[in-house]
Structure formats: C-alpha cells, structure tokens
Amino acid sequence: AVVSTQSTGDPSLRLQERVFPNMMGRNTSKFKYSSCRFKVQKKKEGTGRIVMWQQMGILNSFTMEATFAGYNNVHFNTRDLEDMGYHFCDTLLDYCDPDPSKVEHV
C-alpha cells in the first residue's frame, strides 16, 4: 500500500497524486491501489513525505509500506520484494515516459 498526502483545494492535484499508485496497481497484482490512503493524519505530520509536501510543494511524496506477513495469507519472500522493486522501477519509467499515453490511460 502507499500512504500519500492529500492535496486540498485543487481537484486536479487530488487526481494527479493518485496516478502513480494507480499505475503501480495495474503493473503488479501484489500492489493494491484500493489499500492506498491519501489523507494526512495528525500523528504523521512530522514524517518526511508530509514535510516534503507541505514545505517544499512536492506532490508525489509517498511511503510504500510492506508487511512480512504478505497478503492473502501468503508470506513475502526475497523474490517477492525484488519483484516489487522491479515493478516500482518499471512504473516509474512509465510515469516519466515522454509519451503521455501511459499516464493518460489511467
């Protein structure tokens, strides 16, 4: 799951911050977009992603969380984590591709 900031005011920013996690969910079944949260909790205001968003205006600042317990009662192993890294990098390449069709598809 990804935990992100929640942009207030401009609805287009709220959509923009959800594009990368949505693309990640499309690239691998091990990442669940439906488990992502896009709210700022009071107790998390001092975390790096919140500070980067509030003080520096960085919209796409995420925390990717994983659990050893895995999902659907299947434990993650080293290969699963390596696959997630691969899919993260692949999604990042798609997100930054000069051809906007991959991002517009979302």
Task: Count other C-beta atoms under 10 Å from residue 102's C-beta.
Answer: 16
Helix axes 11-27, 78-96, angle to 10 degrees: 130
Specify whether 65 is catalytic. yes
Q: What's the token pair of residue 91?
A: 């999604």
Q: Is 29 exposed, middle or buried (0-12, 13-18, 19+ CB in 10 A)?
A: exposed
Judging by DSSP bridges, how do beta strands 2-3 and 63-64 pair with one another?
antiparallel
Q: Which one of 45, 65, 82, 104 is the catalytic residue?
A: 65
Active site residues: 65
